[in-house]
Each structure stands twice: as structure tokens, then as C-alpha cells.
Structure 1
Amino acid sequence: MSGLFTRSSLLAMIMLVSVLHSPSFADGNLRETPLVRAVQTSRKSVVNIHTEKKAAEDKEARFFSPKSRKVTGMGTGVVIDERGYIVTNYHVIQDVDVITVTLDGGASYDGRPVSYDRKHDLAIIRITVTEPLSVMPMGTSSDLMLAETVYAVGNAFGYEHTVTAGIVSALHRDVEVDETQSYENLIQTDASINPGNSGGPLLNVNGEVIGINVAIRSGAQRIGFAIPIDDARRTIARLLSVERLDGAPHGLVTTDVKSATEKKLVVNEVATGSAAELCGIKSGDIICNVRGIRINDGTDLERSLLAMPRGKVVDLVLQREGREQTLQFTVGVGKSPVIAQSTAQNSEVTVATAEKKTAQVPAVNVSQTNTPPQSKPQTVNTPPQSKPQTVDTEAQIMDRAWELLGLRLESLSDVEKQEVTSRTYPGARGPVRYNGGLRIIEVKSDSVAAKFVKEGDVLLGLDGFETLGPVNLNYILKQDRIQKATSMKCQIYRKGGNPLEGTLLLSR
């Protein structure tokens, strides 16, 4: 008995000495727990989102009424790139007119949607900042444990940066919200998630995001759900795709590999003639770093190349057969291959600027080619998005443009888009401004287009609609729209000049 007492006393003394010599005790601050430190670290990367939109009946009204009602909303976002790119839930920004983003320090910015995925309920918005933002440390959802301590930070009921704590209650939950929205493989937590928390982070005690808060169980107490961060990051990578946003594909098919001990991006396939192949990347390589950004997954790869000028050369560090190598990657070079990575999933991604409902294009009413547009812009009606039909891939849409118009098209880079949108052009009824277009990379030699269109021109508008991207083009060239049409008016921008107008014959 005395031996047992001696051993117990010795253990107690050791524990007491350990506590007395811990940093927190030495500083006289036992209150600063790991959870407190994690909150202090992560909250700089959490933003509050406030939205406004007109009431549905006001939007459908023909004339503006000074008594139009505004509907306000709220949500939360997570900084994923220091240049102001933020991820949130799509339902937070769906159909809104105004997005206001407030940072931890209280500074507010106007936000604009970049891209979104309705099915997976995620969206990217961007704010214009003058100083780099703090990027949220990314954890992994691959090693989550039941009863593990987690906490949520968000704009709960409009109370900014509210912190709630709880545990992981369950994993792999499938939840159906209504007939149009369901989720798979969610994390269930009893950390209080309230209206306004949507789009915010669920974090572990290390301050790493392990989920994106998305839903609560109506009428229940402390039953909330979050999208696992590993699933979310795969969707975010598609939302940040440089091929979609910049028109500068890298030509890589990759896989995120994540566990408790490692996070890495493995190359599965390199498209022939692509920028990646020209760089020297091979299947099986592990991409470690691009222009100083550590690459943990596909999201990091896309954001490392996002908004880089064509022709810019960046350092790319990879690991091949256990040895590290540094290659030179040139942005925007090589062919624009159609790669097979997640084709169906990519079709769920929408680039926000491509279906902007206020987009405008000059109305056309002339009979000859190569004449400047003569009228003010008209409002464009984009295809309804509430009940999506079978969605063509971007490659299928571009192939249809080639067959019907004799034009091979691709998206503009940010630099090229800026050249088009940064100025106004003369019109009969006043200045005309364009919102973007599609670059013409090839013209069919035996087509009518070949008489006045050149490679390198930008297709600004077609059949009275703006051609900002594949979504617009898909709507314009839908079979039920053009089945009786034999020609279409178009607007073309040629570098350094004013827009030209012509007529394209449709090939059958």
C-alpha cells in the first residue's frame, strides 16, 4: 500500500512540476488554452458577408418603383488566397445584387462573384485589397475522429465573428434539404451553427479548417453540418480553374493525396503539347511549390497560376523519384487540350461573369460587314438557370461554334479582358462599353467569316447577345434558337481599333 502511495505521489509531483513550468503558467495565463490560441490565429482569415437583393415581385416589375423592397442576407466566408479570393456557400450569394465583405479588423469591401457550383453549394467571391490578406490554414478531413473538439466562427444572426465550440458528432452524413438541394458525406457537429454561419469554417484545435459550415437541422438542438474540407477543396480547385477563368490551361490531371501525415498533389496525366508538357512535368511527379506557394492540393496549384500574365515564367518545384527538381513553367503557352479530369463535375461550375444578367451588347441593324456598331447597348437576356437541362461540356460548345460559325474560340485572359473592358467605343447614340468576349484562335478558310475575321480578333457579341464565355455561347447556339436562322450579326474587336460589325452565315 505504501509503495502504491509513493508511486501516486511521485506522479502527482511530476505533473505539478510540468504545469508550473509550462509557458502559460509561467506567464500567469492559464486561460490561454489551445482553443483560444487557435481562434486568435484563424479569425483573421474569416470574413463576414452581408447581401442585398430586390424582392422577387420588384425584380419582375416592368418599371422601377421608389418603394422597391430590399431583402438582406448574411453569411460567412474563408480567405483562400491573399489577393482577396474567398470561398463561401453558393446559397449565401445566390441571385443577390450587392455583396459586402467585412474583415476581422472592421474594414468593408464590395465583393463580386467569380464562379460557383450549385450542386456542391460552393462559390468564390473576390474583393479588391491593397494589402495581402491572411489565408486560412488548411487542415484535412481525412483523419477526423468522433468526439474530436471543433469550433465554428461566423456571422451568426449578424453577430460578426461569433465563436461556438463542440465536437464531431458523426461523419459521412447524407442530408436532403429540399427537392433541389442535397448533400453527401457531411460532418455532423454540435457546435452551434446558426443562420449567418453558412460558408464559414469548422476548425480543429490547431486552428486549421476541416469543414465549411453549410446547414442546420430545423427544429433540432445543436445538429449542424459541414462540408469536409477535402471535398470542398476539390470543388474549389475547379472554381479557380485557370483554364476557365484565364483561358490558360496548364494541361495537368492531378490527384489530391491527404492523410494525417501528408498533403501532396500527384500528377496523373500530362496533356500532349500543353504548357505542363513543355515545362517537363511527367506523370507520377509530385508538385511541391509554384512561384513560392506551397502546393498541398489542386486548389493551391490553380491559385498559384491564377491571373498570371501569358508568357510569364515561374519556378515550379517538383519531386520525382524522391529527388527534388526545379523547372521553368511558362503561363499560357502550348496547345489548349481537352483534358478528361472530372468532365461531368466541371460542367457544374459556372463562371459568374459569363452569365451576368446585366450584360450588354450593341444592337445590330446593318447589311454590310466591317462597319462600326450604330446603336446603344441593349439588355441581354441570359438563359434561365433555375432548372438546368443536360449541360454540354465547354469542348462541345466550342466545337459547335466551329461547325456553325467557322470560328475556333477560347476564353480571354485577365489581361486581354482588361484591354477590351477598360475603354468605351463610339456609337451612334453615345459611348458603348463591352464586358469581355472570346478570343478567335482559328478561322475556317472556306467560311464567310474568313472574309473579315482574323486570328487574334475578339468576338464581342453574336445575335444581339454578349459572348463572354461558354455559357453565353451555349445559349446563343442552342438548336431551338437557331433552327430557322441562316445568319447572325456579330461584333469583332481588333487590337488597337474600334469594334467591327459583320454577318456570319450558319453552316448546316
Structure 2
Amino acid sequence: MTTPEEEELDVYSRTVIRAVEQVGPAVVSIRPAGSPRRRPAVELMGSGFFITPDGYLLTNSHVIRPIRHPEITLIDGRTFPARVIGEDPVTDLAVLRVEHEGTFPAARLGDSSRLRLGQLVVAIGNPLGFQFTVSAGIISGLGRALQGPGGRIIEDIIQTDAALNPGNSGGPLVDSRGQVIGVCVATLLGAENIAFAIPSHTAEWVAALLIKEGRIRRAYLGLVVQVRPISWPSEAAGLEIVEVDRRGPAARAGLQEGDILIRVGGQPVRSLGELHRFLAHWPPGRPLEVQVLRHNQLRMFTLIPQEAPSLGS
């Protein structure tokens, strides 16, 4: 049942307002402890959001890396010190913990694997020091690869035209049901109406491992891939290899740019999330069979994955 005030609004406005009301209380600003709250340095600011009532929150790795002692501020003005639980530069995600006797409003992670082009999304964050700012747009691309901070390639990225600016990084990208389907990560310098977010299905498993172990050890293949639809029996999509590390395991095994990865260790890989989850549990040094399509012909290769190199500064 809608109130008289809600009836005066159009459907689009009501949808955006509901999404903001559901997720907004879980969103925080992140800055160095003791910094001025009105005009801190933009490069030392970011956003985040609680994913559990007991104080675990999600943000970007590049947001917390330069901050020695992070401090978070809620929409109601309360401020708390936060502790870094772990970070994963490969996916540009990090988990913080606020230790407090009470509970916090937590956002719910949705299913980003069901996103469709043109779908309405809402971004909430703290761009350019303006706390709790809302922007709305649509999903304009899926499965993108993006060069992140330090030159690292971040894969399986959501593209949106929702306005994002420095300080939005780490904030939630929300669907019309008020569920977080992405973690805002960057804008493309010099471009208008192009912004990016890490999908929630990646954020969910990364956060779970960081909370449990504090880090993610993954096997390294030495390639960059992007999702590509294919016509192959029982497979609707694969991962096209767009870059190969000449010194890595994939190159040594004979994989090439343009190959389409469809199975790893006997398991289908239709998204970057599936590949990342597989490699996070595969022991480095253990031989790994992969299947690829090359010129529409199925070929088998055996790789010897190594431990992913350190991505520290």
C-alpha cells in the first residue's frame, strides 16, 4: 500500500527511493583516522558498506591500501575506528571490521549473474567528499576487463552509466529490489557516462575467504580473459583469452590470445567468478587440464599453475 506522498511520484522515482532507503543506512564513508571530516584529501577517501550486522564491511582494496588507520562514518554521523581483515588486489576488494557492542544495518548481496543490459541500478557513496550521494542509471555492459590502480587488470566488470566520481569507490551498486549487485570501483578517465563495478558474485566469495583466512591464495595461469558467448554443445559461454603473460604457465603450455577457455579441471567456466573460485582452491604446482576452442576446434592443454605473484605495492 502506498502513501499519498508516494502516489505523487512516478514509478522510476519510487523504485530509486526504495532502493536507497533499504541500502543507504548500511553505507559508510572511509577516511584516515583523525582527518578533517569536511575537506579531507580526495585520494584518501572512499566508501564501503556493511555486509553483516556484527560489523564486517566491504570496500575496495585500493581505498584502504594508502590508509594506515581507517575510520568509518555512518549516515547518522557516528564514527568508529575500523580494522583491516584482509584485501585481495586481484579483484580490488577488501574487508574491514568495526568492533562494537551493538549491531549495524547490513546490505544484502544479490545475484549479479542474472543481470541484464538496460537494467536499472543505483549507486550510493561519498564522491568528492559529499557524503551520502545517490546516482542512478542502467547496466550498459557486462563481463568487461578494466585496468585498475597500479596497472592491474580487473576482470568480469559491470559497466554502468550511473555517475561515479572519486570517493564512490567501494560503495554499493544496487538493483531495483534493494540488493547489492556490485561494488563500485572506478570511472574511465576522460570518458562520460562510463563507470564500473565488481559483481556481487565475485564480492561474496572474496569476502567470505577474507573473513575466514585474511587472504586469498590462488593458482596463477598467466592470462587475462573476458566472457564471450559461444555456440558449442552444452556450453553457452566461455572465456576468451585477450592477453597472455609470456612468462606464465599458460604461455608455456601453448595457450594463445583468441583461444576460448571452456573447461578447467573438467569444470565449465562461463564467468570470471567461476574461474576465480576454481583457482582459489587449486594447489599451485599441481597439473591442470584445460579445454579451449581454437578456430572452432576443441583442444586440450596441460598447465602447471604457479602461486599468484604478490601484488603488493
TM range (shorter): 0.5 to 0.7
Shift in alpha-carbon separation, 1:219–1:52, aligned structure 2, 3 A: farther
Q: CA RMSD in A?
A: 2.9
Distance in 2, Cα, partners of 1:200 & 1:71: 15
Say whether the 8 Å CA contact 2:42–2:166 is kept in structure 1. Answer: no
Query: Amino acid of the residue matched to residue 49 of structure 1?
Result: I
Shift of 1:206: 1.0
Q: TM-score, normalised by structure 1?
A: 0.40
Residue type matched to 1:128 in 2?
Answer: E
> What runs of 5+ residues in structure 2 fail to find an aligned partner?
36-40, 215-278, 285-305
Tell me what 2:139 maps to.
168
1:342 to 281, 285, 298: 281
Deviation at 1:178, TM superposition (A): 6.1
TM-score normalised by structure 2 residue count: 0.63
SS in 1 for 2:18: helix
**Partner of residue 105 from structure 1, selected from 69, 76, 99:** 76
- The one-letter code matched in structure 2 to 1:225 is F
2:15 counterpart letter in structure 1 = P
2:73 counterpart letter in structure 1: T
Unpaired runs of 5+ residues, structure 1, are: 1-21, 55-69, 246-339, 346-389, 394-470, 472-508
Distance 2:20 2:6 in 1: 19
Q: 2:33, 2:81 within 8 Å by CA — same for their partners in 1?
A: no
Aligned length: 218
Matched, 1:89 2:68: no
Q: Secondary structure at the match of 1:142?
A: helix
**C-alpha distance after superposition, 1:38-94 (max 9, x if no partner):** 11111011111112699xxxxxxxxxxxxxxx9961101110111111110010010
- Superposed CA deviations along residues 394-453 of structure 1, whole A, max 9, x for unmatched, are xxxxxxxxxxxxxxxxxxxxxxxxxxxxxxxxxxxxxxxxxxxxxxxxxxxxxxxxxxxx
Residue type matched to 1:218 in 2? L
Say if 1:53 and 1:96, in contact at 8 Å, map to a contact too: no
What per-residue deviation string (whole Å, max 9, x for no partner) do you get for residues 167-215 of structure 1? Answer: 0001111112366411111000000011001111100011100000111
1:140 aligns with 2:111: yes
Show the counterpart of 1:35. Answer: 16
Q: Is the 8 A contact 1:35 1:206 kept in 2?
A: no
Between the aligned partners of 2:68 and 2:53, the Cα distance in structure 1 is: 25
1:47 aligned to which of 28, 33, 44: 28
Alpha-carbon separation, structure 2, partners of 1:53 and 1:26:
41
Amino acid at match of 2:30: I
| 1:342/1:156 CA distance change after superposition, 3 Å | same
CA offsets 1:12-59 (integer angstroms, 9 cap, x no match) = xxxxxxxxxx624587543661221111111011111112699xxxxx
Q: Is the 8 A contact 1:149 1:168 kept in 2?
A: yes
Change in 2 beyond 3 A, CA 1:106/1:179: closer
Matched, 1:183 2:122: no
- 1:52–1:72 CA contact under 8 A, matched in 2: no
Instruction: Name the CA distance, whole Å, in 2 between partners of 1:85 and 1:150.
Output: 24
**In structure 1, distance between residues paired with 2:211 and 2:120:** 31
Amino acid in structure 1 at the alignment position of 2:67: V
CA contact (8 A) 2:84 2:95 kept: yes
Matches within 5 A, 1:239-318: 239-241=210-212, 244=213
Query: Where in structure 2 are the equivalents of 1:96-495 lying within 5 Å?
Result: 96-177=67-148, 180-241=151-212, 244=213, 342-343=281-282, 391=307
Find the counterpart in structure 2 of residue 448 from structure 1.
none
On the 8 A contact 2:187/2:195 being kept in 1, the answer is yes
C-alpha deviation, 1:113, in angstroms = 0.7
Selected match of 1:77 from 41, 45, 48:
48
* Aligned-partner SS, 1:206: coil
**What is the alpha-carbon distance in structure 2 between the residues aligned to residue 116 and residue 35 of structure 1?**
31
Letter in 2 for 1:44: P
Cα distance in 2 between the residues matched to 1:72 and 1:392:
28
Higher strand share: 2
Distance 2:186 2:207 in 1: 19
State the distance in 2 between where 1:341 and 1:235 align.
Answer: 10
CA distance in 1, matches of 2:7, 2:145: 46
Q: Which amino acid aligns with 1:23?
A: T
Residue 459 of structure 1 corresponds to none
SS in 2 for 1:97: coil
Is the 8 Å Cα contact of residues 16 and 136 (structure 2) preserved in structure 1? no
Which structure carries more relative contact order (alpha carbon 8 Å, separation 6+)? 2
1:208–1:27 distance in 2 versus 1, CA, 3 Å: closer
Shift of the alpha carbon at 1:391?
4.9
Partner Cα distance (1:171, 1:125) in 2: 27
Query: Which one has the largest radius of gyration?
Result: 1
The answer to whether the Cα contact below 8 Å between 2:46 and 2:166 also exists between their aligned partners in 1 is: yes
